[in-house]
Copies of this chain bind each other. A is one copy, B any other.
Amino acid sequence: MREPLDPDMFADCRPVSSVPIRIGDKWTGKIIICLRDGPRRFTELLVPLRGITPKVLTASLRAMERDGFVTRTAYDEIPPRVEYELTPLGRSLLTPMAVACEWNRTHLPALTSARAAYDAS
């Protein structure tokens, strides 16, 4: 017999993407990948993040800084230079993200065709 579900099974989960990790929003995961090879500047990040606005990029980077995923280093130069870099904690996210990407690579076609079949009916 199947056990009944434990009513408290999610007691230690904070709301929104606690499990899985809080990288479920639109940009955080991509930013982490952009920073994989070393520090990057604000404008440098804008390019591959097609269509992100400066406001949203700032907000994302602030949130990631708060979570301890990135550091922000401002150099006192003219023109200004700011570099964002992954912390070890931020870098540790690359493992689960790689697994998720691998899932996508192998299973996304199945999901897509499931959707098509559902929408057709």
Contact = CB atoms under 8 A, between A and B. Distances in A.
B100 A10 contact: no
Given A20-B29, A21-B103, A104-B21, A67 B111 contact: yes
Interface of A: 2-10, 13, 15-21, 23-26, 29-30, 33-34, 37-38, 40, 44-45, 47-50, 65-68, 89, 92-93, 95-97, 99-104, 107-108, 110-111, 113-115, 117-119
A120 to B, nearest CB: 11
A1 B29 CA distance: 24
A71 to B, nearest CB: 11
B21 A26 contact: no
A104 B93 CA distance: 10
